[in-house]
Amino acid sequence: GQSQGHSPPPPPPVELEGRHRAMSSQAQHAVMKALAPTAKLLANSMLFTAVAQHARSDPKKPGRAAMEAVLGDKQARSKIAADLENKLANDHSGEYANEIRNEVPEKYRSFIPELAHTAAVSATTMAFIDLRDNVLKAADYPKSMDRGYLENGNSLADMPILMGSSSKGEYGPVAKDKLEFHCKSKCESNHLCVAYTYKPSMGACYLKSKLNPVRGTDCTKDCWFFGVVHQRLP
């Protein structure tokens, strides 16, 4: 009925909405345990893909300007959350939904769609907050945000892959100008990798599990370059 009058608009749906039915804490925990890590990884990847696309579409505003533009774009945020929800819950959207489904006990699988919504909105919100924090921290280093540096850390296990120094490994010694190509190939074939860095002087390739712009890099001798793997999903 109409007896309750007008309530104020709800805040962004980061909290569990309970759109369908009551859910035990065990069910919620089991499903979110499967959803949350992938949601976080994909939200960061999608956000930086949006930034990269913005930077390419307006070459005069690379780096931080592109980040600020995406941070201020509510439509971009909604689209990332919706795309992410689809990848988490829709079995036809690629490998992630199937992996998540396999990790959830069968009796709780019916809860995946509604909790995928919660996980997607929450992970997208946190990705935007993290990027905003990095942009604010980088204000003292305007040049560093206009290039593709990543901080040390957040590497996958067994890094770096040394590609230039010896004939060991599948490629043999890799020339400096081919280092990015081979490093990117490694990243694309590892489902945990969202970005890579490489250091030409060392012939070293690092696969990254997380993205964060670097602050205050000294590029006089040697730079850390990076690439984001944009299209890993079907």
Residues 53-112: pLDDT tens digits?
Answer: 777 777 676 666 778 888 888 899 999 999 999 999 988 877 889 899 999 999 999 999
Contact status, residue 77 vs residue 122, Cβ threshold 8 Å: no
Candidates 78, 26, 6, 9; CA nearest to 47 is: 78
Domain boundaries, position 80:
25-145
User: CB under 8 Å to 163, separation ≥6 — which residues?
Assistant: 169, 171, 173, 174, 179, 182, 183, 203, 204, 205
Shared domain check, 175 and 128: no
118 vs 204: which has the higher pLDDT: 118
Shared domain check, 135 and 223: no
Is this prediction's pTM over 0.85? no
Shared domain check, 108 and 31: yes
Candidates 192, 195, 180; CA nearest to 230 is: 195
Shared domain check, 95 and 154: no
Shared domain check, 66 and 89: yes
Shared domain check, 60 and 155: no
CB-count burial class (<10 Å; 0-12, 13-18, 19+) for 42: buried
Shared domain check, 62 and 89: yes
pLDDT tens-place string over residues 7-48: 555 444 443 444 455 788 899 999 999 999 999 988 988 888
Residue 105 to residue 31: CA distance in whole angstroms: 8
